[in-house]
Amino acid sequence: MKYYTLSESTDTDIIGYYPQTDVSEDSEFFSVFIDFQTRIEEFPEHIPKYIIILNKKAYPTDFIERVGVPYGLVVNNKIKSLITLYSLPNHKFYDTEVIYKKSKLNYYWFHFYDDIFQYIDMKKSKFILKWRDVIQEFCFTSKEFYLSKEQETFGDFEKNLIIKEVYLLNSFPKYDIFHFEGRNIISEKLLNAFIENNITGYEVSEYDVLKLE
């Protein structure tokens, strides 16, 4: 099975104008002025109000540019109805208000997460750490070991960590969308559904480092 990275489109032929969105001054979610904290692995019952302004020159696509939150996707009801037919990790849809030309549109902040590291064959999976002309290749060994090497690259622009190949164990639930190392990943099956249903507002790129055992 092929997998692809999924991101919001920046193509103005598709979205009309870039940046497509801005966060409203009245938005509370992830605001520094609101005493509310959450992490990617958490699914709160409710979130503070999340308000996005869609630029008047932009198009209200099915996916719109996520703004003001560090993870998840902002989607309309068409996406919500479609994507729930597929294999998803833990997830929740939170009401999001989108303001477009003085009208209010109904969107959702789609938050999904499972710790993919638990499904990785640590001995077979490999990554590369580059420092100037020095290249070191490592097995993942453990989640903690990989993250410790990743930590080495933070703030050091001469070091670069590259995931070479990730083997997923048979225990992997074969999610059609999931989050891994800062990326939103979708299956070829879900991508085909997007194409067949004329979904708008997204871009994909093949992510060939993922391999099923």
- pLDDT mean over 119-124: 98
pLDDT at position 155: 78
Asked whether the predicted pLDDT for residue 182 surpasses 80, the reply is yes
Element at 198 (helix H, strand E): none
> Cβ distance 106 to 66 under 8 Å?
no
Share of the chain above pLDDT 70, in %: 100
- pLDDT mean over 168-197: 97
- pLDDT mean over 84-111: 97
pLDDT at position 194: 98
CA distances, 112 to each of 90, 182, 184, 210 (Å) = 6, 13, 10, 19
Asked whether the predicted pLDDT for residue 184 surpasses 90, the reply is yes
Handedness of CA 36, 29, 45, 102 (dihedral sign): positive
Q: What are the residues whose beta carbons fall under 8 Å from the beta carbon of 94, sequence distance 6 or more? A: 46, 47, 50, 108, 109, 111
Asked whether the predicted pLDDT for residue 213 surpasses 80, the reply is no
Answering whether pTM is above 0.75, one says yes
